[in-house]
Amino acid sequence: MRLRQREEYVRRFLGFKWKEVHLKYLGGKLFVGIVFETLYAPYVPRGFTAVDVNLRQLTLFNGFEVERLRTRFIDVLSKRARAEGLMRKYPLFSMPEGMGMQ
């Protein structure tokens, strides 16, 4: 029987207990899938950082404390929208091509 995985990978499972075996016959070929049972210790993170970016604030969490930093993204976007609206309303006074906001 030919294996689809490398031999080194298969050797990792030699001592494990079999839980289930799945057989599938398709197109003249027999496929075998084996589910193993093993004990493991869940990973306990040593430390982590979470970052949440919004238009009004950045929220940072390092595992112990939460820090919120106010941003001005919403102010900038509202001023940009206002400037673009004025440039559409008064096209005679808008900036020349290449000089405006991208």
Q: What is the mean pLDDT of the chain?
A: 80
CA pair distance 63, 46, nearest whole angstrom:
9
User: Does 77 fall in a domain?
Assistant: yes
The residues near 48 (Cβ < 8 Å, ≥ 6 apart) are: 62, 63
Q: How confident is the model at residue 100 (pLDDT cuts 50, 70, 90)?
A: low
User: Does 102 fall in a domain?
Assistant: no
- The number of helix segments (H) and strand segments (E) in the chain equals 2, 5
Higher pLDDT, 95 or 37: 37
User: Does 43 fall in a domain?
Assistant: no
Give the pTM.
0.37
Residue 101 has a pLDDT of 53
Strand order in the sheet with 50-53: 50-53, 57-61, 66-70
Split into its structural domains, the chain has a count of 2
Q: Is residue 26 scored above 80 in pLDDT?
A: yes
